[in-house]
Chain A
């Protein structure tokens, strides 16, 4: 497939935004259980929510560049019964709304407990919104990933590993960003978020490793024989019906050489998995305000390469019809 930068930006940006929000709620949950020191509502939770919301807005903005008619984008919410794209179009604004409400209620300090469970767990507005937001974030992850995983012809994508990868990459980059945000604002949660970020990064490395192994030895169901229905072992395409390019030759092939693909694969393996883990480990020792920030930047650049590779490695069966120009 041809990787579109609008989609690469969309999926990586909202993934980091979702992960960051889930990190914020996780932090609040830990401090409610008195496992962590409580954080300031305005400077930590409200600002963090704003950061998450900014990433989501940027992602939504990027997605419009993928559309031929962005002014009709509102129509895309109508087929939620069948289309995962439609479900994503609904889940994204719903999630953005919950993030905004979570940030607003922290900003205005609506943290008086509504009820106290067993005299231990104070439940307030922010906690309810946070839990709903986390649920919606998971739904959004599934919707985004299922857009790709539901296409059964693209066998590289048609696996539960795609959903696992989207969720774990989002969590990894989100928690790394939470560590960077804590380090930058001087909140003592760098070790907490950094540890979770390393755990999610390692889990993502495992599931992505599995999917790359699977894809490297995939047996494609469609062949030139089934594509044109001719039962012969030697078939060569001599002409695709036109001399120049077409939508079919542009949209379904990345146009990069095998060497470039290998380079991108190595690049993202280093940038997504190795560099952030090393930088976060160093940040634990050095208590630097910059190292976690650097870790997030490196991981994000790596994630863009990873998403590019995700598109490039998928082989669409329609390419069987478009093998030779002359």
Chain B
């Protein structure tokens, strides 16, 4: 059985948000649209997004690294959001494993968002239905598009190719090989939801920090505060 999914390489993602914007652009005008923003120019803007890029700082200064972390629906193999839906609006496609919402059946009770540990389902404030990443189902199943364009908008737009797309059940696919060879992992494996989307971990890089890169040698006042002791492990020490 086919299980389409994204594989996101955290070693490559630079946090440019191109995937967020292309996702919004493609999906607001397509099958899953519209994805309206509320109060975009006021103090408290909010809106519907399928994809968010978050930023985490790992380690103790000065040995820190920034991890850009894109997250959308993980299209779980055991999606906890599907059985709790009282109307059957939330479903998993038999043919390609994509988890979708039937907007005409959704009553907007938010129960599925409670049942998702990843926080990837968002209610659309205007249409009052639950929305989430569709893996650009209208693109990837469109036979009129050339084969190389039958991929989600975020994958096509990623300038660093941090996103791979394919069938994770096919052992010879690009995504399966990437998962196998780079130690691809799932988020929150403790819940047994078996997310189809995988992440590729940061890989070991060598870094040498010289003191004069941290202290300005030419500081005329010589009033630099002392640096904190560089102790503890860095991300490099624990990465694969």
Contact = CB atoms under 8 A, between A and B. Distances in A.
A154 interface: yes
Contacts of A72: 87, 105-107
Contacts of B105: 72, 75
Interface string A222-246: 1010111111111111111111111
A67 B71 contact: no
A295 to B, nearest CB: 34
A147 B48 CA distance: 26
A47 B45 CA distance: 51
B83 A83 contact: yes
A318 B52 CA distance: 13
Interface in A122-151: 147, 150-151
B238 interface: yes
Interface stretch (B122-130, B135-143, B151-159, B207-215): B122-130
A67 B114 contact: no
Contacts of A84: 84
A232 B87 contact: no
A76 to B, nearest CB: 4
Contact of A226 (B39, B54, B106, B190): B190
Contacts of B44: 244-245
Contact of A238 (B66, B128, B188): B66
A79 B87 contact: yes
A224 B187 CA distance: 10
Interface in B14-33: 17, 20
Interface residues of B, number: 65
B111 A85 contact: yes
Contact of B113 (A221, A238, A247, A319): A247
A229 B199 contact: yes
A272 B88 CA distance: 38
B interface majority secondary structure: loop
Contact of B86 (A66, A79, A150, A321): A79
B86 A235 contact: no
Contacts of A229: 185-187, 199, 201
Contacts of A318: 116-119
Contacts of A236: 56-58
A1 B118 contact: no
Interface of A is mostly: loop
B115 interface: yes
A247 B122 contact: yes
A153 B55 contact: no
A232 B45 contact: no
A324 B116 CA distance: 20
Given A85-B86, A244-B44, A317-B117, A234 B59 contact: yes
A147 to B, nearest CB: 7
A145 to B, nearest CB: 14
Contacts, number: 181
A239 B55 contact: yes
Contact of B109 (A76, A240, A247): A76
B86 A78 contact: yes
Interface in B68-92: 69, 71, 80, 83-89
Contacts of A238: 55-57, 66
Given A229-B187, A252-B119, A70 B107 contact: yes
Nearest to B237: A232
Contact of A228 (B67, B83, B111, B128): B67
B88 A78 contact: yes
Interface in A230-287: 230-248, 251-252
A89 B87 CA distance: 11
B108 A68 contact: yes
Indicate the member of B48, B105, B117 with the most A CB atoms within 10 Å.
Answer: B117
Contact of B235 (A79, A232, A316): A232
A152 interface: yes
Contact of A78 (B87, B111, B129, B188): B87
A66 B86 CA distance: 14
B165 interface: no
A319 B202 CA distance: 23
B95 to A, nearest CB: 21
A69 interface: yes
A182 interface: no
Interface in B220-238: 232-233, 235, 238
21 contacts: A72-B106, A75-B89, A78-B86, A85-B86, A85-B111, A147-B111, A153-B115, A153-B117, A221-B190, A226-B190, A228-B69, A229-B185, A230-B58, A232-B238, A233-B233, A235-B57, A236-B58, A241-B52, A242-B49, A246-B46, A316-B119
Query: 4 tightest A-B contacts by CB?
Result: A68-B108, A318-B119, A68-B128, A241-B52
Interface of B: 17, 20, 39, 44-49, 52-60, 66-67, 69, 71, 80, 83-89, 105-111, 113-119, 122-123, 125, 127-129, 185-191, 199, 201-202, 232-233, 235, 238-239
Interface of A: 1, 66-70, 72-73, 75-79, 82-86, 89, 147, 150-154, 221-222, 224, 226-248, 251-252, 316-319, 321-322
